[in-house]
Each structure stands twice: as C-alpha cells, then as structure tokens.
Amino acid sequence: MAGELARAAVVGTGLIGGSLLLRLRDAGLDVTGWDPDPETRGRVRERGVVVADTVEDAVAGRDVVFLCGPLPTLPATLARVAAVTDDRCVLTDVGSVKAEVSTVATVQGLGHRFVPGHPMAGADRAGPDAAEPGLLDGAAWVLCPGPTGLDAFRRLAALLVDVFHARVVPMSAPEHDGAAALASHVPHVLAGALAGTVHRSALRDAVLTLAAGSFSDGTRVAGGPPERTANMLLGNRDRVLAELDALGVFLGELTEALRAGDADALAERLAEGRQTRSTLRAREFTAHRREFPCAADHVGELAYLRELGAAGGHLTGVREAGGAVTYTGHLPATPPLG
C-alpha cells in the first residue's frame, strides 16, 4: 500500500516535521521537505535530506503532503499546497487540535483528500535539531476520516502503519479534541501551573534541590515552547476550559478531604486515580478483522472506524484488495478487576 504514496513532502520541518521527514527518507520514500525559515532548511539539508527552496517546488507532483507547521498557519498553508497538487494527492497535518482545521478543509472543498491527523508523540524540545527518525515510531496516531475522504484515509493509514508502525486511531475531529483535552492539553496546563508556582516561590532553590520523580515528571512538558503550547490550548479552548472545570471539581474534593483531615475520603479519591493508572498499565486488546466493499456508500465503514476510536481501539492494518478493504482492529479487552 505504501507504494501508492511513494512520493511525499513535509511542509514545516521542526521537531515533528523533521522527525517525519527523516523516517520517510529512511523508509526509502522519495521525500522532499520545506520550511519557511531558511536557517531551518539549511539545518535539515545538513542531515542529508532533500529540501526545496519554495513550498511549491516541495509539493508539486507528490502523492502525499504532511503539513507540520504551527497551528495558526495551517489554513493558509493548506490552501497554498492544495492549489499546486493533484486532486489525488493526500493531504494531512500533525496539529494537536483537529476540529478547526477539519472545518477549514471542508470549506476549501478539500474534504475528499485532506485527512486531519495527530501523532501522539512529542518532546519538551523543539526545532529541527531535536528531530529524530524514531520519535513517532509505534505512536498512537489519530486520523479523522470524513464522509467523503475514506479513500484518502485508507491510503494514508496504510502508509503510517507501514512506515511508522503506527497504531492508527480513527476518530471524528470533535471526538479527538474532547479526548485530547484530557489526554494532553490539560496536562500541559497543570505542568505549566506547577512549574510556574515554583518559579514564583520564595523556596524555589530548595524546591529544585528536592525535585525528584513526581515534580520532574509532572512538569516535563512545561519545558516546551510557550507559544506552541498557547496555540494548542487556544485552538481547543472550550473543551480545555470544560475539562479544567472537571479537574477543578476533583481537585476541590481532594483539597476538602485534606482540609478536613479525612484520611478515608482522601484515600478514596486517590484510589479513583489509581484505577486509571492500573488500566493504563495493564491494558489488553483483542484483535479482529473487518471488511468493507470499497465502492459502497461508506456509511457503515465510517461508523465502524469512529466507534473503534471512541471505544479506545486502534488499527494496525489496512489492506485494499479485490475491491474490498480489510481492517485489522484492536479493542480494549474487559479491564482487569481491582
């Protein structure tokens, strides 16, 4: 399948785009990069990758283009890239918020070939020098197939499984944004708040000396670029605010139990959190196959895909043959007790 998308381009070659580019190159694809920053282009070229001087040169004649620039630039870049690529060329992005760019693409008439994407991987660094080909290997990679874009979805998902061994998580864009608010955006807010509180504390020096696991882990993503994190949060503002409210309720319960000196109530709330960790650590999946005719109206296929993602499942195989597509899907098994 990946052979179908043998000519690739990556637009925006920072941490994520640069890592993508290096892995696609290592996998033997014909891949070209481009970045608006001449210095970044130079640094990526130093790593032995082909980098064009204009975005048009980078994407012309390509089968697939990954848009990896900052969130606020995506609508304009999408239009620019769409204008100079073939109507069969699959377009995708790697932004951390999906509803807005998905709507923009539909409005631009690109719903049949733009597949919103979000690989769940990153680092607290940024820029092309932090890029490494293994960064996205084995990641959960959200793709948001739309009703007219299933053909593009299948081709892109097959490439991601093939090259990145991705666990492809199909979701609607709003579902992604709802889940990502808790899985990523709120954790970034908490990390920033904790690290920022220490920054303002009179005890800062002593706190940093005692900072071991819980503090160091809990603030790691606060080391990322503030503008990148701000864009992410603003791009999913309503969902993040709603989940911050939910978190505030839980935090309030913990605080009140502590204030009241109620050890049982405190341990009960903490036990709820421990269940999440146990589930996360011990998750098991059951595999299945599902086949759909390629030429059907896609309603059943789309429903299957979105239900899979919403239920915590993912795909590790997408195969088109004989007029049918076969998915290898995985669903969480009944969670272990206790």
**Binding pattern to a second copy, positions 174-193, x when CB under 8 A?**
-xx-xxx-xxx-xxxxxxxx
Amino acid at 20: L
**Binding pattern to a second copy, positions 244-273, x when CB under 8 A?**
x-xx-xxx--xx--xx-x-x--xxxxxxxx
The position carrying tokens 């995985």 is: 330
Counting contacts by CB under 8 A, is residue 304 touching a second copy?
Answer: no
Which whole-number Å values give the CA distances from 193 to 74, 161, 187, 245, in the listed order? 28, 36, 10, 15
Task: Find the binding residues for a second copy in span 33-72 (CB under 8 A).
Answer: none
Strands 7-11 and 30-34, by their bridges, are parallel
CB closer to a second copy out of 6 and 304: 304
Q: How many residues bind a second copy (CB under 8 A)?
A: 104
**Binding pattern to a second copy, positions 134-163, x when CB under 8 A?**
-----xx-x---------------------
Residue selected from 76, 79, 83, 208 as contacting a second copy according to rule CB under 8 A:
208
- Cβ distance 7 to 62 under 8 Å? yes
CB of 180 to a second copy, least distance (A): 6
Interacting residues of 319 by C-beta distance below 8 A, sequence separation 6+? 1, 158, 325, 326
CB closer to a second copy out of 295 and 337: 337
What CA–CA distance (Å, rounded) separates 250 from 338?
21
What CA–CA distance (Å, rounded) separates 101 from 114?
10
Counting contacts by CB under 8 A, is residue 237 touching a second copy?
Answer: yes
CB of 129 to a second copy, least distance (A): 16
111 backbone dihedrals φ, ψ, rounded to 5° = -60, -25
CB closer to a second copy out of 54 and 216: 216
Strands 324-332 and 314-321, by their bridges, are antiparallel
CB of 89 to a second copy, least distance (A): 28
Residue selected from 1, 215, 290, 317 as contacting a second copy according to rule CB under 8 A:
215
Residue selected from 83, 234, 303, 324 as contacting a second copy according to rule CB under 8 A:
234
Strands 140-143 and 167-170, by their bridges, are parallel
Residue 211's SS3 state is coil
What CA–CA distance (Å, rounded) separates 263 from 260?
9
Helix, strand, coil in percent for the chain, rounding step 5: 55, 15, 30
Counting contacts by CB under 8 A, is residue 91 touching a second copy?
Answer: no
Residue selected from 88, 204, 288, 289 as contacting a second copy according to rule CB under 8 A:
204
Task: Find the binding residues for a second copy in span 102-131 (CB under 8 A).
Answer: 120-124
CB of 249 to a second copy, least distance (A): 8
- Cβ distance 144 to 116 under 8 Å? yes
CB of 154 to a second copy, least distance (A): 20
